Structure 1
């Protein structure tokens, strides 16, 4: 029985050995299969450890020791881009129930001079990751505690070279080839390095090792309280409290930045004050997280605002701060532009009312004043106006402010005409704007800048006072803008007993306008202010208009003659003192005008543009132009005047309006009648379109041959023309044609033949059409005059046709009988004919 049991055990042992050998072979084949990838999983390493030493050696021989040790680290996920969150400034309240509402004014009707304040520190979370991946670029601290999932990278060198990437198993062990499993969970990074190096030196003689960490494990933490996205998050094991807060989107508008709690196993292990990080760069309390940690952000507590001239105006959450001194330290201190003597605290008193408390921050005892939740400290700035300076402006090279010192004179401010002033300054007139104390009323003084610089001892080198402004003008530049600003200030100061100290100069001066009235100011000073007399000024006399209030009941106007010639000579008895609102008028020199011009072209010996004197006549101009050439045709002269052209334009527009009115009335009448004939309306509409296309010419009919004949030997003639500026005269060459136009079958021009009458020329053009009114045929002479038919003027002969004439056969206006005002059509046809007759001559201009 015993022997039988013994045999059974031997059989079982043999079978077990066979199974183990088969498992080893299968495992060896698996390891060989994955040798190309040179990567072992944790399960494969556990199977490898279960083999006998002989089997492990055989596997080592098959795969190779170097390949067994080289295990690649899995690829790490790239860090995700940190994207900015949408702006929360519009949604975030500026204060809570305990904070300062700096946007409210003390009085609802008073505009708040302070810009709105924002809570301090919340901009830290302006950009947060949209998704979170374990950080791979955070430096590893030597006190980092290892745990399951961490990767340890080992590089061996010396006797043999190998690289290992080992992952801490769930049991907290590293499975090191040749050394076996080593427990590292719970060790710090420094302790793990020491343990591994010690075992390698003992068991692997001649080998040295470099040990570092690869990919780190992830841990799950909870972020709760007043954060933008509370919840459970998986973060890197190297993450700190601030890293985790970024994952959750940061602290929201009502969350506290100064009392953030880290809870571990139900207990608060530390508190984080982000002000330490923001104001001092202190990360001492920003501890590393462990699995299962809870970050809790409580609600915002007491807040106080600081506005005005501080380095960081904002709303601050209070922690240990109790007084104004500590509050100013939070805000970065006062700016150099602060005026601490005039500071205020906006406070809500015990009755729930808003009030102001004046504080002098320059007093050290005041800095110990306690602040309350909801206070706002306003620090005012110094005044913008500058003291102990003088201003230089206008026609200068370097305008701006300059230091003032007692006894400073004008020549100390402007040293040189060449270096300090722009080209062509007005050296005879410069203004000084001065503020009079104590009410800061404006007073204006004038000086001769040239005298002040050339003669420093003269009265024009005036002594300057603090805050004076010296205004220099250019000789040809417009000074109206600068002077009008000063005049407006003086007018604003006017009252019942103190009239506005302004005067005016007009007429022929270089710079007319209103000017400040100095004390005292004479006529010569006002002429100097206006830049002096212009070229066309009448220097013998002027007129002064003066206003005076009589007994407070009415205002009287008086006109005073000014002997300007004596004033310009420097006679003081003629140069009287001006009063407020005086107006000086400088007259224009009689018959002073820019010479007009007349253009003459065509058949004259010297054509061109000629200046003319006032009242000069055409006969004189022809004489200056050398007279006619041998080819001149004076009977066809065309004289154009701009004034006449404008009148013709008005007449054409008036006829066009009348025609449109008549057409509208007749169209309405025909529409109401049965079988209304509208054919004639089409004819009139066509005439109206032609009328609107007419360009007026402004021709003046002149009889040039008669004018030349009568004015020989300097005699006067009624045919002579007084020239005006812009007149134009064209003398055409000799012409031989006669033109026939209007209602004929073939309107054209014919060679002039002596003895032919009007009817013969009409027949030569095919004769009159059925629409023609032959009774009213008229002739436009070459000089532009018109001779009508016998039906209008009896005694006209049709045989006196001359070269250059135009025969017009008009339309029979009876064909447009629906037009009640048929004379409109006659005028239109006449105007069209006149324009056509003169078109060729007009073209030469």
Structure 2
């Protein structure tokens, strides 16, 4: 009796063997990786990406790689590190590296032309910028927007000079001179023989006055003397400007100190720092100068109204502080701008709608829903707009603007036999008769006996209300019907209530097909519409098939159709019988082919005859012997045993043939015909003309009589397909050996031979003997291919073994339980 411990040991051996096979299969695909010496922290992002890509190509998961690494001796700590890095790569999405070449060394070193880490970082940054929901954030994220200061502007009058600024002083008149002076670190500019002039902190306007006053000591003409005008002029302007240092702190993406031109504003500094981050305010940005706040910037003024109030020009050592936001609310639904908006204390839902650009064209503006939080739980407010447009929002509120209902409050519709069908406005005075008049009245083909109004009930079910158009149009005051919202009026045409009336003509006419029926249409009319008879037509035998309707009778007639036969001449003139005959809807006209009309049919003869070429079949039963006689007989070099006949197979359908079966006609399409060889024995045909061997020729037949053949072809699965010189003493096996014998894929026992005249023969077996067919000149020996049996892959074998092991464990457990009981 098998003990429980023995069964468990057996199962453990099976599962261990299965695990080894699984690890072996994985290792074969990633054999170039030395997991034992692998250090996850030392691998670059490109190498981790390469490892993950190779694992994905083989269908392996991160868990599979972990098991493989443990089986190859990697420590648990390194396995955890490797797993963490693989999951990071997987979360970033597929990289688009190009030019990766595997060197096959133990640590997966590779040559990577694209920096994968930088690429993924850039792609993530683009995605984050695109998806930012904070109103105003994209203005600092977009690469297309640049808040660089403009340096090509006139110098502002209030611009304060400082060390590093360059002053350009042009003097003309009684004296001419140009000075380019830079303000020194002490805040002065110097002239020869004049001494320094202090200009630091002065506006450009005050600096001009001070410099002119000092220069007048050198150029006396700069100052007016009594009533005498000045004869010397001076122009003082700003040349190269200095740089200033500004510090941006607080909730910005890149805080720090930035070097900017002295004409820079607060916007320029904020853009350089990347703008406020996800916690930074857009409404209360402070510009600190010295110990006080020089200005407070509200970016919404610029974004909404284009107002740059607070965007002052910066000075050296200014500090821009971006505090966290105070109140931020969200708006979604049918608003022009959706996202997160920052509100100041006391701002209302109307201010939020202003920032969001107002309602979209599909907005439901009567009520707005606000979801928010209290100190302990959530709340919802249903705001009536515009009555409660002063509703004050709180931090964390979420505003939802709903969409208008997909229904009309004042629509009616009219369809059918009116001149202008469609939707119309419903007014208090709209009735059925007035709606018909607004639709420009009824068409001539209107069905006057009955119309319908489809009306929507309170439970949204539909009610059909019939009416008589004849009574309505004759007496609208008595029979008019008031319409309601969403009423649909349906007025039918007489053509809507019956099948499309057509007549059909097939057979030997130029353009057979279906044609619209017209009253009193004659047989000549439809033949004329079909562009007349073909050359092969038999106009003296035209048939018309007519339906039998039976009327209101319940009697089922034995006949299924009524047949009329007429004679029509080539001038489309009917005989006396058909003079008063008119077609009815669904009549079918058949024009037959003349039995005495034949098209020329041709065959070809090639090879060793006196006059090869194309010949017309002059009678219906032209045989092969007749064709050879017309071609002058065979030549002295002919090889009759190799003569063959090529014939087209498949039925060729002529468009003039009619196939009446279950009331349907043939489509007139031609079936593609293939060619095949027909085995013939030309010697017997020539010796016994008219015999069974002497086949009757068909159109398109090709008779080929070759010259004397002296080779045998060996083809198929042989080592060297070749043509072998014919020798009467050689057998079929000898010819196969002459081609090198059968290949590993060939089946020589099933070889067959195709003779030059198209006949086929194969090897036959009787008991232990093989009967090979005779070989004749011009024959081709074929060695067929063995059946391709697909072998199981390693994964399929592992799967089958896993199933066997599982079944063995179940059976063993069942036996153990039975024995233990």
TM-score bin, normalised by smaller chain: 0.3 to 0.5
**Higher-Rg member (1/2):** 1
Which TM-score applies when normalising by structure 1?
0.45
Which TM-score applies when normalising by structure 2?
0.46
